[in-house]
Structure 1
Amino acid sequence: MIFKLVYPLLIVLFFISAFINKNNLFNDINLSVDNFNIRFNKDIQILRKEIDFLDVTKKSLPFINYTVDENITYFNINGSGVYFKNITSYPNQFYFYNLKEAKENLNSKFNDSLLFIVYNNIRSLKNDRKVIYTDDFSQTWVKVLQKGSLSFDVFQNRRSISRNNTEFALYNLYTDKAHKKEMFTIIFPEYDYFNNAQKLRALWYFDFDPKFFAKNTDRLKEILGLNACIIDGEYNVVYSTNEQQSKRIVDINNFYSFPLEKTNYRILIEKEGLFQLIKVKEIFLLTFILFLIFYINKKEKLKKELHSLKMLNKIKSELLLREPLTALYNRYFLQEEMSFPIKNCGVVLLDIDHFKNINDSFGHDKGDHVLKAVSNSIKLVSIGNADAFRWGGEEFLIIFKDISKIDLLNKVNTLQMLIRNLDIIDNHKITASFGVIYTDIDDKDTFYSAVSKADENLYTAKKTGRDKVVAF
């Protein structure tokens, strides 16, 4: 019965443990996502500090070998473009920012994520004169700058440009008009106000491939044991720890969803399964308990089977040791079970008088009834410390143990009266003759010697008239 109660209790404990672990896991997820955002912001701040390297590259160069195209004056310095707009007189020299060197410095840490740098040096001169530097010397910039300045109009998706001078903006599906390229980008814009107009002062333009997110996203999976991915605002997967993940998330409800700070990207963490909530130690403990219950249950079952087997063997043994008709012991009991010595022993050998005549006159069925009735009478007087045998035919043996002579004779006289009073055959009285010996029995030899003496007394009782007790 106890095992029927234990199994439901284990199931309840299983689900309680899963519930507790789910709460702990969710707390771990929140903490891990917070750390993800902290590390992400730290990476961005490192990037921003490295951008300051640009000022170190500033050097004074002569103003030579330039080309004029309408209101744009431009020239190439080692692959970098320098563009002057709306200038009427040319300086002898100017400050040049080595964008190539800055880019190489940044690329060493950010996996070639930097596509190009554009820096706009605004001068408070008439006609909004300014100089623009870019690490990409191209006629494309000439065409762009002829139509306007380095401002919002350069970008097709204006939301890609943050108006906050101190923060970055991370957006997706952003196309710049200069290169006509759609990409995921992180930009660090800075603005100045000139003639009440907001102008983009400087732009560091990065296209981050999945490697940029891989380090921190993989760490999420390592800590939580759950797959994680980064998606953009259109639910497109930018990076996933699950190689089988589709390129677009269809149902975001299958994930825990968290914002990636200051971006329209999101961090998704797959929801755990039930068995993911069960820790190794709990599985071990539950397995151990189940094994222990199984072992105890098996042990109890074996114990019951053993008990049943013992009972069965006992029954078989009893059947083997007893005579079938009367259920009294047989001579095999004497060989296997009788123990010696026996002190103060009463040996009683009795024989049913004229039993052959009963069988001949009334049939063997009546004879069997007489044998059973006499054996039942013997059982009544031998209750306690005595063993009763069907010694053979109509002859019975009773061994009384640790009994006085007086009690022995009383038992025998009582048995004689019980047999006399048996009413089995109409108009026929049943009697028995008794031979009694009182002695100590040390072993089987003295036992058989005592039985022999009792048999002599029985013979005397039968010879002198039957229905008698000849003792000692």
Structure 2
Amino acid sequence: MIYKLIYLLLIGLFFISTFINKNNLFNDINSSVDNFNIRFNKDIQILKNEIDFLNTTKKSLPFVNYTVAENITYFDIDGSGVYFKNITSHPNQFNFYNLKEAKENLNSKFDNSLLFIVYNNIRSLKNDRKVIYTDDFSQTWVKILQKGALNFDVFQNKRSISRNNTEFALYNFYTDRAHEKEMFTIIFPEYDYFNNSQKLRALWYFDFDPNFFAKNTDRLKRNLGLNTCIIDGDYKVVYSTNKNQASKIKNIHNFYIFPLEKTNYKILVEKETIFQIIKAKEVFLIGFIFFLVFYINKKEKLKKELHSLKMINKIKSELLLREPLTSLYNRYFLQEEMVFPINNCGIVLLDIDHFKNINDTFGHDKGDHVLKAVSNCIKLVSVGSADAFRWGGEEFLIIFKDTDKENVLNKVNTLQKLIKDLNILDNYKITASFGVIYTNIKDKSSFYSAVSKADKNLYTAKKTGRDKVVAF
């Protein structure tokens, strides 16, 4: 009983300890995600500072050597692109931003995940007149801008910049048409203020590849030991520490979900398995519990085996060692249970006379009744130090142990009379023939030799008229 109480106590300790580990892990997840958001906000501030720096270092350059394609006027300045869209008159000069220098400065902080910068100077949303600057010059931009790229009507509403009307917006994962690369965009709006109202003046676009999130996301996985991914507002995976992660999250319930602050992006941390919250002490408890269970079960099993040994022996005797119809021993008993030597032994082999005629005349059911009746007679005379067997068919064997010849003959004569007195078949007297020998048996070989001699005496009894005893 005390072992069961200890067992239950250990199980309780295991679940309590596992519950504590789970709570600690969840606290670690919350803390690590908070740190992730802090680092993300620092990265955003770096971008914002760079914009402020570029605004203070812009240069005024003459408006020369340009090319016109339909509604786009464009030219190249040291590999940087300047594009005017829907302008009716060309200015004498314009403000130039050295975006290449800004990109080189930022790349050292963002692991080269920044693909390019676009500065979109919105002159008028209503008439769609724009000045667009990129950190690389490409005529591909001309075709894209002709189709209306960077025409973000959403920015007409100042409160659509982000959920909290903050200073930047993060836009969903997409494939850029100019460079055919997967990326996402961080956008910073700039406003003019007139009569206490805001008017959108310009937008800064920072385009990044997914590795923008690699450093912080990989750190999150190292801290927690759990795969982590960043998804956009359409549940598309922007970056994942699991290289086999599908491109779109289908079952969000497999993750803990946290907002990426001030954006519509989310941080997903996969839910832990039982093995990730089981520590060394829980492993020890599990091992000890299994040992205790094994010990208790072994002890209970041994106890049951000891209590049921007599029953098992009885079943073995009844089912394995006895012939089912007569309940006398079978030959398996001779092979497995017979103990030699046997001294002063009487071997009696008997055969029911004309048993085939009984089956043919009265049927096999009646024949089985005769076999049972004869076996009951044999049991009466073999009580004590004798073993009785159904030797085969209508033949029976009795082994009288530690007796004398006279007693053996008395038992056989009594058995012969009991069989004659059976009255279970109409107008038919049941009789049996007997072959008897008296000897000492040393081993199994001498036993079968003795049975063979008794069989010869039985044969003589049957040949000389049946219902006889031929002895010694």
Q: TM-score, normalised by structure 1?
A: 0.51
CA-to-partner distance for each residue in 1:60-80, whole Å, 9 max, x for gaps?
434332334566543211122
Which stretch of the first structure deviates more once superposed, 22-31 or 2-11? Answer: 22-31
Match of 2:239 in 1: 239
Equivalences, count: 295
* Partner SS state of residue 103, structure 2: helix
Confirm whether residue 134 of structure 1 aligns to residue 134 of structure 2.
yes
One-letter identity of the residue aligned with 2:37: N
Match of 2:13 in 1: 13
Distance change >3 Å, CA 154–CA 71, structure 1 → 2 = farther
Match of 2:209 in 1: 208
Measure, in 2, the Cα distance between the counterparts of 1:99 and 1:208: 18
CA-to-partner distance for each residue in 1:113-160, whole Å, 9 max, x for gaps?
333333345679xx99764432233445556666879641699xxx99
Report how far residue 9 of structure 1 moved: 1.2
Larger Rg: 1
Note if contact 1:122-1:131 (Cα within 8 Å) is conserved in structure 2. Answer: yes
Distance change >3 Å, CA 16–CA 128, structure 1 → 2 = closer
Distance change >3 Å, CA 80–CA 241, structure 1 → 2 = closer
Distance change >3 Å, CA 260–CA 87, structure 1 → 2 = same
Note if contact 1:80-1:135 (Cα within 8 Å) is conserved in structure 2. Answer: yes
CA-to-partner distance for each residue in 1:415-458, whole Å, 9 max, x for gaps?
xxxxxxxxxxxxxxxxxxxxxxxxxxxxxxxxxxxxxxxxxxxx
Give runs of aligned pairs for residues 109-124 of structure 1, distance below 5 A: 109-121=109-121
One-letter identity of the residue aligned with 1:13: L
Give runs of aligned pairs for residues 391-430 of structure 1, distance below 5 A: none
Measure, in 2, the Cα distance between the counterparts of 1:9 and 1:147: 72
Measure, in 2, the Cα distance between the counterparts of 1:136 and 1:295: 75
Match of 2:75 in 1: 75
Measure, in 1, the Cα distance between the counterparts of 2:138 and 2:14: 67
Measure, in 1, the Cα distance between the counterparts of 2:232 and 2:72: 38
Sequence identity of aligned pairs in percent?
76
Report how far residue 291 of structure 1 moved: 7.3
Report how far residue 166 of structure 1 moved: 4.4
Give runs of aligned pairs for residues 166-245 of structure 1, distance below 5 A: 166-174=166-174, 183-192=183-192, 199=200, 201-209=202-210, 211-245=211-245
Measure, in 2, the Cα distance between the counterparts of 1:70 and 1:240: 43
Note if contact 1:71-1:87 (Cα within 8 Å) is conserved in structure 2. Answer: no
Note if contact 1:57-1:101 (Cα within 8 Å) is conserved in structure 2. Answer: no
Distance change >3 Å, CA 245–CA 69, structure 1 → 2 = closer
Q: TM-score, normalised by structure 2?
A: 0.51
Note if contact 2:164-2:262 (Cα within 8 Å) is conserved in structure 1. Answer: no
Note if contact 2:18-2:282 (Cα within 8 Å) is conserved in structure 1. Answer: no
Unaligned runs of 5+ in 2: 299-472
CA-to-partner distance for each residue in 1:293-320, whole Å, 9 max, x for gaps?
999999xxxxxxxxxxxxxxxxxxxxxx
Measure, in 2, the Cα distance between the counterparts of 1:22 and 1:130: 55
Match of 2:418 in 1: none
One-letter identity of the residue aligned with 2:74: Y
Match of 1:266 in 2: 266
Note if contact 2:162-2:262 (Cα within 8 Å) is conserved in structure 1. Answer: no
Give runs of aligned pairs for residues 272-287 of structure 1, distance below 5 A: 272-284=272-284
Report how far residue 6 of structure 1 moved: 0.8
Match of 2:313 in 1: none
One-letter identity of the residue aligned with 2:16: I
One-letter identity of the residue aligned with 2:205: W
One-letter identity of the residue aligned with 1:207: F
Distance change >3 Å, CA 281–CA 73, structure 1 → 2 = same
Measure, in 2, the Cα distance between the counterparts of 1:63 and 1:79: 16
Report how far residue 39 of structure 1 moved: 1.7
Report how far residue 44 of structure 1 moved: 1.9
* Partner SS state of residue 243, structure 1: coil
Distance change >3 Å, CA 268–CA 287, structure 1 → 2 = same
Report how far residue 33 of structure 1 moved: 1.7
Report how far residue 251 of structure 1 moved: 1.8
Distance change >3 Å, CA 241–CA 179, structure 1 → 2 = closer
Note if contact 1:186-1:208 (Cα within 8 Å) is conserved in structure 2. Answer: no
Match of 2:87 in 1: 86
One-letter identity of the residue aligned with 2:171: Y
Report how far residue 45 of structure 1 moved: 1.8
Unaligned runs of 5+ in 1: 299-472
CA-to-partner distance for each residue in 1:187-211, whole Å, 9 max, x for gaps?
22334589999555122231332x2
Measure, in 2, the Cα distance between the counterparts of 1:206 and 1:224: 29
Note if contact 1:120-1:132 (Cα within 8 Å) is conserved in structure 2. Answer: yes
Measure, in 1, the Cα distance between the counterparts of 2:146 and 2:237: 38
Match of 1:342 in 2: none
CA-to-partner distance for each residue in 1:8-28, whole Å, 9 max, x for gaps?
211111112112222222222
